[in-house]
Amino acid sequence: MTRLLEQLDKWQAKMQRTLFFSSLYETLRKFLPIIIISVFFQLFIDVFLTSNSFFALVFHWKLFRIWPPVNHLANMASLFLKHLILPLFAYFFASQLENRRGVHDSLLPLVNFIVIWLLFSDNLFVRYSGQNILLVSLIVFSLTRILNKITALHQHTLAKYLYSLLFLLVVTAVIFALISVEHLPSNFIVSSSQWLNDTFINQWSGHFIGVFCLTILASILLWLGLPVPAALLKPNFSLLSTAHNLNASLDKSVFNIPNLLSLHTLYDSFAIFGGVSMGLALVIALLIRSHGPIKRLTKIALIPSLLDNNQILNFALPLFFNPLFLLPAILSPIFGITLTAIALKLHWLAPSVYELPRYTPNILTAFLSSNGDWRTIVLVLVILTIGVLTYLPFVDHWLKGAGSEIM
């Protein structure tokens, strides 16, 4: 284990020495306050103002009916904030790149903000694609380098502004030209829910090997800062394997369902507590080991993590592009689906087959979707404990290194 951690440190050090990653790491931390606001605002919408959400149905909350205009405005604000996150991140990243050059000018960051806003608008070239940190960072880094080379040829401030404006106009014209091409499909660079098409996920979601591969894929996509398909973020009851299981359970024993080891019975129910990569296990490990500012930050991240949103720690550690956390991020959910597959094959617990309301916390999915089988609670606790133990050595090592700088 010690040699592995040392190798991961070397990998991290090499990345840290590059302009791209060193600027990116710093930007992720500076961007954290905006992410915290965004996360809690979105949770408020999901919990209190969504009519068919888990909490509205279970606790009979009717806040979404009290004043419909407020509900409408809140949802519009939520949508606007989602669209604003990536352009704002582009602005922060471009500013950090400029600061590394000793330049404190808002023109280049503003150009990047506008370009990303255009690219990731629903009605333009690229549909809103959620967490797309890697693609945005590469675009911003490239645009910034190009603009730096162009403006370096002209020392006069006015000339720099004119060339930057001209460059922005050219990029905007190219974007609009591409989307106006007659044979080019609208929004052909797809959103997070379409990175893997429905057919592919449907084909791989009905057997253990497919679920195993999709579990690894989800963790890698998260680590890379790329959009994770919607079916791997939360239960998708429109998948064929899930629908077939539900229909079969109405006619015969749940143990005779056609897809016993499916995405819903394994991954949705026992692998994504706190979100992709079992973020809740990471939160608990940090609560056990950390202190000072990191522990306070982890406490802030606890409630969102219980509701399957771990974006706060994704930016704070960061989990994105962090070699130290890649292995536990993959292993924790893999242990979860493997233990569950064994338990289901031995008929030690009832499989999860029943449909649940939106935004049901994943830690409750197995119990509720199995029609209240108490044995699922035991397995959830066992898997979560294993996840915490998997993360602990890496958390300890991180706290001694990069984490100690934050504390």
Please report, in tens digits, the pLDDT of each residue of the chain (407 residues total).
778 888 888 888 888 889 999 999 999 999 999 999 988 988 887 777 766 666 666 666 666 565 566 666 767 777 777 788 889 999 999 999 988 877 777 778 888 888 888 777 654 444 444 578 888 999 899 888 887 777 666 655 555 666 666 666 666 666 665 555 544 444 444 444 454 555 678 888 888 999 999 999 999 999 998 888 888 888 888 888 888 888 877 766 667 788 888 998 999 999 999 999 999 999 999 999 988 888 999 999 999 998 888 889 889 888 889 999 999 999 999 999 999 999 999 989 988 888 888 778 888 888 988 888 899 999 999 999 999 999 999 999 898 876 555 54
End-to-end CA distance of the chain: 25
Query: How much is the pLDDT for 219?
Result: 93
Backbone angles phi, psi at 262, to 5 degrees: -120, 180
Q: What is the DSSP letter of 265?
A: I
Q: What's the CA dihedral at 161, 165, 168, 172 to 10 degrees? A: 170
Task: Determine contact, residues 274/280, Cβ cutoff 8 Å.
Answer: yes
Q: How far apart are CA 171 and CA 175, in angstroms?
A: 6
**Pair 235, 275: CB distance under 8 Å:** no
How confident is the model at residue 384, as a pLDDT? 95
Residue-level pLDDT at 228: 84
Q: CA triplet 241, 230, 50: central angle to 5 degrees?
A: 105
- Between CA 365 and CA 223, with CA 192 as vertex, the angle to 5 degrees is 80
Longest Cα–Cα distance in the chain:
79
User: Concatenated DSSP letters for 91-136?
Assistant: HHHHHHHHHHTT---SHHHHHHHHHHHHHT-TTSSB---SS-HHHH
Spatial separation of the C-alpha atoms in residues 205 and 87, rounded to whole Å: 34
One DSSP character per residue, 177-232 reads: HHHT-TTSPTT-B--GGGSS-HHHHHHHTTSHHHHHHHHHHHHHHHHTT-PPPGGG
Rounded to 5 degrees, φ, ψ at 358 are -65, 150
Asked if 223 contacts 258 with a C-beta cutoff of 8 angstroms, the reply is: no
pLDDT number for residue 127: 45
Residue 297 is predicted with a pLDDT of 92
Closest by Cα among 25, 159, 169 to 111: 169
- Token code pair at residue 65: 């009916």
DSSP 233: T
Helix axes 374-400, 323-345, angle to 10 degrees: 160
Q: What is the pLDDT of residue 162?
A: 65
Specify the DSSP class assigned to residue 358. B
